Amino acid sequence: METTYTPARAHFASLCDHAASTLEPVVIHRRGAEDVAIVSAAELRSLEATLHELRSPRNAERLLRALSRARSRSVKPQSVKALRAAFGLETSKKSK
């Protein structure tokens, strides 16, 4: 979604609601100044976490290989329960 400064100022609350509910940024064009965007805090945290994970070239390569495998569907999907069992991470039930 994009708008200019004057309508953004008049409808600021609804633009904030839109950014929060859709996770889409709202770009505000300003005459004579750099454009800005309203982004939900949750989306901003998610973007920052993604950037952090991709900052390391080794980690970025590992993540991109995993994404490629997932998109190729060459690996059979497994449940979290099955993965926990495969790696010895089963949760044990404590007796009371």
What pTM does this model have? 0.61
Kindly tell me if the per-residue pLDDT of 70 is higher than 90.
no
Residue 28, class by beta-carbon neighbours within 10 Å (0-12 exposed, 13-18 middle, 19+ buried)? buried
Percentage of the chain beyond pLDDT 70 is 95
Q: What is the pLDDT of residues 6-53, one digit of tens each?
A: 999 999 999 999 999 999 999 999 999 999 999 999 999 999 999 998
How much is the average pLDDT of 64-93? 83
DSSP letter at 95? P
Two tokens, residue 6: 């004057």
Contact 23, 35 (CB under 8 A): no
Paired with 38 in beta bridges are 26
Amino acid of residue 45: R
